[in-house]
Chains A and B, each alone.
Chain A
């Protein structure tokens, strides 16, 4: 059984599957997952057609999910290049570049305009597929949450949530004073929590250690391909992301999230990089007590062969309880 720490977004994604099981029984979960897979497959077929064969062939070395993330950059650059090319050839053909242009060169420029215009018309602008891409992402993320949930039911995964993520989850488990607040009913959250072990700490020295590691995650190393996490304070007034990642690392359990942007990818450098994840791993190497547990997207975690962490946590379980809790178990960790 593999330990997995789940971020709040993955937890929320699992609620749908848990609600299904509560109503229709675990014996029908496989059928439900299969239907979700079929829907995702249909979506991916529609999306592939929209992205165009030229693009799919050009980036055939990338997985479909990577192609989806690449499309915005490809579409924007290709369209801009085509427009520039057409304008350049229009200037050549009109004699603006050189009044002594030969008929042969003029003909060639006009041919180039025709070819490039055809190419331009074949490229689907990103804006036209943006909604479809977003829908595909939502279905894909949901399915990965579902597969993790099913894995836990089948005994392949042992699910954990740490206190920093759980605070965010609880924050969306009730109606707030704000009428626009979105939330899942508390009883649905509590029902799913029975599959989880909650990790928390009341130890001041461990809290200090988590804070220190989280701070290092937010501090630049100034190394190539290495970017620090953002200094974002979340709704419960914490540096949420960095503390979630730090606590998960110190207990030696890989964290899975749908939120690659804040934990893995520095989007200011494109979408296919691991600059933030690199930073976390570089910090861990020199931080006393850190493990090699790291962060994965839920999609990667359920679809790729992910190695388990090799460095054991130095933390101890201070106390452990099952009573009076919606969780399978709660562990109060200590240094």
Chain B
């Protein structure tokens, strides 16, 4: 356990976590739009932006207040 760089591990985990959240949001959007009026490109762009934005926020929060191993 001593050899694990926990900060790096948590950073990688956060990326997976935020990707999971963003995909879930994409799926929600897909559920909300019938195929006829579903503009996938604009939804994807919005979610991807949100993914980048949220990631920065999450890292900031954990760097300020989170306890790293």
Contacts and interface: CB of A to CB of B under 8 A. Distances in A.
> Looking at B23, B45, B61, which has the most chain A CB atoms within 10 Å of its CB?
B23
Given A8-B24, A139-B17, A168-B27, 12 more contacts: A9-B24, A15-B16, A16-B13, A28-B1, A28-B4, A180-B40, A182-B47, A232-B31, A233-B31, A235-B31, A259-B28, A261-B28
30 contacts: A9-B23, A9-B27, A12-B20, A24-B4, A31-B69, A35-B67, A42-B65, A45-B65, A135-B57, A138-B17, A139-B17, A139-B58, A141-B21, A142-B20, A168-B27, A172-B23, A178-B41, A178-B44, A180-B44, A182-B19, A182-B48, A184-B20, A230-B31, A230-B32, A232-B32, A233-B34, A234-B30, A258-B24, A259-B24, A261-B28
Interface of A: 8-9, 12-13, 15-16, 19-20, 24, 27-28, 31-32, 35-36, 38-39, 42-43, 45-46, 131-132, 134-135, 138-139, 141-142, 145, 168, 172, 178, 180-184, 230, 232-235, 237, 240-241, 258-259, 261-262
Contacts of B33: 232-233
Interface in B1-51: 1, 4, 6, 9-10, 12-13, 16-24, 26-28, 30-35, 40-41, 44-45, 47-48, 51
B35 to A, nearest CB: 6
Contact of A35 (B10, B21, B51): B10
Mostly, the A contact residues are helix
Contacts of A36: 13
Contacts of B47: 180, 182
A9 B20 contact: yes
Nearest to B48: A180
Contacts of B61: 42-43, 46, 132, 135
A145 B41 CA distance: 29
Nearest to B20: A12
